[in-house]
Amino acid sequence: MATHRRTSARLVASVIAAGLASTALAACGTSDENGGAQEAPVSAEGVDDGTELTLWTRAPLEQQANLLVEAYNASHENQVELTVVPNDDYVAKVGAAAGSDGLPDLFAADIVYVPNWVQQGLFADVTDAVGELEHADQINQGHLEGGTLDGRQHVLPFVLDVSVMFYNKDLYERAGLDPEQGPTTLAEFADQAKAVDELGGNVNGTYFGGNCGGCLVFTWFPQIWAGDEDVMNAEGTESLLAGDTAQEVYGVWRDLVESDAVGEGSKEETGATWTGPFLEGEVGVMPFPATMLATADEALGEVGVAPIPGPDGGASTFVGGDGIGISKDSENADQAWNFMSWLMSEEAQVEVLAKNGDVVSRADLAENEYSSKDPRVLAVNEVAAQGRTPLAINFQQAFNAPGSPWVTMVRNEVFGEGGTVETDNEEITAVLGQ
Amino acid sequence: MPAKLSARPPARSTRPAIVAVARRRALHGWAYAAPTAVLVVGLFLLPVLLVGQMSLSDWPLLSGNQGINAPANYQDALGHRYFWDSVVFTVKYTVIATVLLIGLGLGLALLVQESSRWSAVLRTSILVPSALGLASASLLFYALYSPQVGPLSPLLQRLGLADGPVTFLGTPDSALWSTVFLVVWRFAGFYMLLLMVGLQGIPHEVIEAARMDGANRRQTFVSITLPLLRPSLALCTVLCVTGSLLAFDQFYILTKGGPDNSTLTVVQLIYNVAFQGQNDLGVAAALSIVVLVVLVVVNVAQMRAMRTSQED
Amino acid sequence: MTTTAPPKTSPAPQLRRQPRAPRARLAGIALRTPYWVLTGALALVFVFPLVWAGVASVAPQPGSSQVDGWGFGNYVTLMEYQAGLPQYLLNSTLVSGMTVLFTLTASVLGGYAFSRFRFPGRDVLFLLTLAILMVPYATLLIPLYVMLNAVGLQNTLVGLSLVLTVFQLPFATFMMRISFDAVPRELDEAALVDGCSSFRALRTVLLPAVKPGVITVGLFAFLAAWNDFVAPLILISDSDKIPLPLAVANLRAQVMGIVDYGATEAGVVVMALPCVVLFLLLQRHYVRGFMSGALKG
3-state SS string for C232-295: HHHHCCCCCCCCHHHHHHHHHCCCCCCCCHHHHHHHHHHHHHHHHHHHHHHHHHHHHHHHHCCC
Instruction: Assess A122–B contact: CB distance below 8 Å, yes or no.
Output: yes
Average pLDDT of the residues of chain B: 86
pLDDT of residue C59: 82
CB A122 within 8 A of CB A97: no
Instruction: Assess B253–A contact: CB distance below 8 Å, yes or no.
Output: no
Whether the predicted pLDDT of A54 surpasses 60: yes
For the ranges A18-22, A100-104, C24-28, C271-275, the lowest mean pLDDT is seen at: A18-22
Instruction: Assess A275–C contact: CB distance below 8 Å, yes or no.
Output: yes
The mean pLDDT value for A181-209 works out to 93
Length of chain C: 297
Contact residues, chain A, for C163 at CB < 8 Å: none
For the ranges A12-26, B5-19, B259-273, C181-195, the lowest mean pLDDT is seen at: A12-26
Q: Which of C147, C256, C260 to mutate to test the interface with A (most CBs of A within 10 A)?
A: C256
pLDDT of residue B43: 92
Whether the predicted pLDDT of B155 surpasses 50: yes
**pLDDT (tens digit, 9 = 90+) per residue, A297-328?**
888 889 999 999 999 999 999 999 999 999 99
Contact residues, chain B, for C287 at CB < 8 Å: 193
pLDDT of residue B126: 92
pLDDT of residue C17: 46
pLDDT of residue A434: 79
**pLDDT (tens digit, 9 = 90+) per residue, A212-239?**
899 999 999 999 999 999 999 988 999 9
The mean pLDDT value for B245-253 works out to 88
Whether the predicted pLDDT of C202 surpasses 80: yes
For the ranges B120-134, B201-215, C111-125, the lowest mean pLDDT is seen at: B201-215
**pLDDT (tens digit, 9 = 90+) per residue, A282-296?**
999 999 999 888 888
Q: Which residues are B60's β-sheet partners?
A: B280
pLDDT of residue B234: 87
Whether the predicted pLDDT of A85 surpasses 90: no
Average pLDDT of the residues of chain C: 83
Whether the predicted pLDDT of A334 surpasses 70: yes
Whether the predicted pLDDT of C61 surpasses 80: no
pLDDT of residue A39: 54
Whether the predicted pLDDT of C138 surpasses 60: yes
For the ranges A167-181, A275-289, C74-88, the lowest mean pLDDT is seen at: C74-88
The mean pLDDT value for A183-208 works out to 94
pLDDT of residue A429: 96
The mean pLDDT value for C13-31 works out to 57
**pLDDT (tens digit, 9 = 90+) per residue, A338-394?**
999 999 999 999 999 998 888 899 988 988 888 888 888 888 888 887 789 999 999
**Contact criterion met (CB < 8 Å) for C63 and A271:** no
Instruction: Assess B124–C contact: CB distance below 8 Å, yes or no.
Output: yes
Q: Which of A113, A117, A268 to mutate to test the interface with B (most CBs of B within 10 A)?
A: A268
Q: Whole-angstrom Cα distance, residue B254 to residue B168?
A: 10
Residue C188: Cβ-neighbour burial (10 angstroms; 0-12, 13-18, 19+): buried
Which of the four pLDDT bands, split at 50, 70 and 90, describes residue A154? very high
Task: Identify the closest residue of chain C to A274 by CA–CA distance.
Answer: C257
Instruction: Assess C66–B contact: CB distance below 8 Å, yes or no.
Output: no
For residue C73, the distance in angstroms to the closest alpha carbon of chain B comes to: 17
For residue C125, the distance in angstroms to the closest alpha carbon of chain B comes to: 7
| Interface A-C: count of C-beta contacts within 8 A | 104
Nearest CB to A273: which of B61, B63, B148?
Answer: B148
Of C110, C119, C131, C165, which is closest to residue B49 (Cα–Cα)?
A: C131
CB A276 within 8 A of CB A296: no
Whether the predicted pLDDT of B12 surpasses 70: no
**Contact criterion met (CB < 8 Å) for A215 and C143:** no
Task: Identify the closest residue of chain B to C150 by CA–CA distance.
Answer: B42
- In chain B, the largest separation of any two C-alpha atoms, in whole Å, equals 86
Whether the predicted pLDDT of A31 surpasses 60: no
For the ranges A180-184, B60-64, C267-271, the lowest mean pLDDT is seen at: B60-64
The mean pLDDT value for A27-45 works out to 49
For residue B184, the distance in angstroms to the closest alpha carbon of chain A comes to: 24
Share of residues in chain A with pLDDT > 70 (%): 90
ipTM above 0.90, yes or no: no
Average pLDDT of the residues of chain A: 86
Which of the four pLDDT bands, split at 50, 70 and 90, describes residue B256? confident
Nearest CB to B46: which of A1, A91, A280?
Answer: A1
pLDDT of residue A414: 94
pLDDT of residue A223: 96
Which of the four pLDDT bands, split at 50, 70 and 90, describes residue A75? very high
Q: Which helix (H) or strand (E) holds A306?
A: strand A304-306
pLDDT of residue B46: 94
The mean pLDDT value for C144-153 works out to 87
Q: Which residue has the higher pLDDT, B155 or A42?
A: B155
For residue A17, the tally of other CB atoms under 10 A from its CB is 16
Q: Which residues are A316's β-sheet partners?
A: A308
* Helices vs. strands in chain C: H and E counts, helices first: 13, 0
For the ranges A132-146, B161-175, B270-284, C154-168, the lowest mean pLDDT is seen at: B161-175
Q: Which helix (H) or strand (E) holds A313?
A: strand A313-316
Share of residues in chain C with pLDDT > 70 (%): 87
The mean pLDDT value for A237-248 works out to 94
Instruction: Assess C160–B contact: CB distance below 8 Å, yes or no.
Output: no
Q: Whole-angstrom Cα distance, residue C45 to residue C33?
A: 18
Q: Whole-angstrom Cα distance, residue B267 to residue B292?
A: 11
Pair type for strands A308-310 and A313-316: antiparallel
Q: Whole-angstrom Cα distance, residue B141 to residue B150?
A: 9
Contact residues, chain B, for C50 at CB < 8 Å: 128-129, 132, 140
Pair type for strands A148-149 and A106-110: unpaired
Q: How far is the CA of B72 from the CAs of A433, B46, B278, in angstroms?
A: 18, 23, 15
Q: How far is the CA of A244 from the CAs of A229, A350, A380, in angstroms?
A: 8, 41, 28
Query: pTM of the entire structure?
Result: 0.84
If you compute the radius of gyration of chain B from its CA atoms, what whole number of angstroms results? 25
Which of the four pLDDT bands, split at 50, 70 and 90, describes residue A155? very high
